[in-house]
């Protein structure tokens, strides 16, 4: 237990120092949840993640004002945890260990010892997000359904181009649910298309443009590689130009961002899309 000074100053202006040998996001979320119960606009949260040494701990605690600030921590490395607790006690700082008490209880009832590896919970969350996005990608890369668009992180609009599935799966591997909706002048747009795409989603919608000659050659290669010779008409330059013209008219109606994917491999395409997502989030 850390020492709590009875002469602690009552104030609405203090700092909460969050210390973690992992990402610190769990502790920060808990602190934010607790602060929602109070009206404390002047309280600042100071995050210190991936702390690995005694020197780092001392440098952080040097900034903490005794009898005023609070330290909240999630540290699982036993040696580092012992150092932190000793420094808190010696300095008389008010602190809260978010993981320690529960870990100690689990040790009493479990035949196993804690791993002491930072960041395990965050890794589990990331793996879960990736699996969910991969499952979504398999269902939503066909380009013909708008039923699951509300679940998407980003909606891609464009004409048929080879290897689009690979780009969508690469986005899924990064935990991004990307829906692809194919635009074709010979196919009717889904009912309430514009309302479905724009209003309820409030998420990035990207139109994909490509040079007509480049796309024509790419289609020819793909059709021949798959032996689908009855679809060779899809690679005709006039057909490609008609599809692209139709797609651009849809982009204009929606007012969505448009990116040029001419000559991009799957990796470059994914990086371009991720950059656009980050840009739109920053603007919001």
- Look at residues 266, 278, 272, 261 and name the one whose alpha carbon lies nearest to residue 170: 266
Say if domain 126-283 classifies as CATH 3.40.50: yes
Out of 58-62, 126-130, 165-169, 241-245, which region has the weakest mean confidence (pLDDT)?
Answer: 126-130
Nearest by Cα to 211 from 244, 168, 253: 244
Give the span between the Cα atoms of 124 and 118, in whole angstroms. Answer: 12
Beta strand 94-97 with 70-74: parallel, antiparallel or unpaired? parallel
Res 84 pLDDT > 50: yes
Maximum CA pair distance of the chain?
85
Judge contact between 121 and 129, C-beta under 8 A. Answer: no
The two tokens of residue 255 are 């007012």
pLDDT at 203: 65
Give the span between the Cα atoms of 128 and 77, in whole angstroms. Answer: 25
- Computed from CA positions of residues 64, 56, 95, 85, in that sequence, does the dihedral angle turn out positive or negative? negative
Evaluate whether the domain defined by 15-109 bears CATH number 3.30.70: no
Which positions ≥6 away from 185 have C-beta within 8 Å?
Answer: 242, 243, 246
Q: What is the pLDDT of residue 116?
A: 47
pLDDT score at 244: 94
pLDDT-derived band of residue 111, with 50, 70 and 90 as boundaries?
Answer: low
Per DSSP, helices labelled H in the chain are: 25-35, 54-61, 78-91, 100-109, 120-140, 164-173, 193-197, 212-226, 237-254, 266-283
pTM over 0.75: no
Residue from 9, 167, 160, 24 nearest 93 by CA: 9
CA-CA distance, 128 to 91, in Å (whole number)?
40
Please tell me the predicted confidence (pLDDT) of residue 29.
84
Instruction: Tell me the domain boundaries of the chain.
Output: 15-109, 126-283
What residue has token string 């120092």?
17
If you write DSSP's letter for every residue of 167-228 in order, what string do you get?
A: HHHHHHHTT--EEEEE--TTSPPPTTHHHHHTTTT-S-EEEEE--HHHHHHHHHHHHHHHT-
Q: Which residues are 181's β-sheet partners?
A: 157
- Inter-CA distances, 149 with 7, 139, 144, 219, Å: 56, 11, 11, 27
Between 238 and 188, the higher pLDDT residue: 238
What phi and psi, each to the nearest 5 degrees, are found at residue 155? -115, 125
Q: Coil, strand, or helix at residue 250?
A: helix
Bridge partners of residue 18, in order along the sequence: 47, 72
**Given this model, what pLDDT does residue 57 score?**
92
Handedness of CA 172, 178, 179, 183 (dihedral sign): negative
What confidence score (pLDDT) does residue 281 get? 65
Residues 214-228: what's their mean pLDDT? Answer: 85
The answer to whether 15-109 and 126-283 have equal CATH topology is yes
Report the alpha-carbon distance of residue 254 to residue 248 in Å, rounded.
Answer: 10
């Amino acid at each position: 237990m850390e020492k709590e000074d009875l002469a602690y100053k009552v104030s609405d202006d203090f700092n909460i120092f969050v210390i973690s040998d992992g990402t610190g996001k769990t502790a920060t979320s808990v602190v934010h949840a607790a602060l929602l119960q109070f009206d404390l606009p002047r309280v600042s949260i100071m995050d210190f993640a991936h702390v690995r040494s005694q020197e780092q701990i001392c440098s952080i605690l040097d900034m903490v004002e005794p009898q005023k600030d609070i330290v909240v921590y999630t540290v699982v490395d036993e040696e580092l945890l012992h150092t932190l607790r000793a420094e808190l006690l010696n300095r008389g700082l008010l602190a809260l260990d978010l993981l320690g008490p529960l870990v100690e209880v689990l040790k009493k009832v479990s035949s196993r010892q804690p791993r002491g590896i930072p960041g395990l919970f965050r890794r589990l969350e990331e793996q879960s997000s990736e699996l969910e996005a991969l499952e979504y990608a398999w269902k939503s890369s066909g380009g013909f359904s708008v039923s699951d668009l509300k679940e998407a992180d980003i909606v891609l609009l464009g004409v048929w181009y080879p290897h689009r599935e690979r780009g969508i799966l690469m986005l899924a591997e990064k935990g991004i649910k990307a829906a692809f909706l194919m635009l074709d002048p010979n196919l009717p747009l889904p009912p309430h298309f514009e309302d479905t795409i724009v209003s309820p989603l409030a998420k990035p919608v990207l139109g994909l443009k490509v040079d007509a000659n480049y796309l024509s050659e790419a289609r020819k290669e793909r059709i021949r590689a798959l032996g689908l010779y009855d679809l060779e008409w899809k690679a005709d330059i006039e057909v490609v130009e008609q599809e692209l013209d139709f797609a651009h008219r849809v982009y204009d109606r929606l007012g969505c961002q448009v990116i040029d994917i001419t000559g991009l491999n799957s990796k470059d395409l994914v990086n371009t899309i991720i950059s656009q997502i980050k840009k739109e989030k920053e603007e919001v």
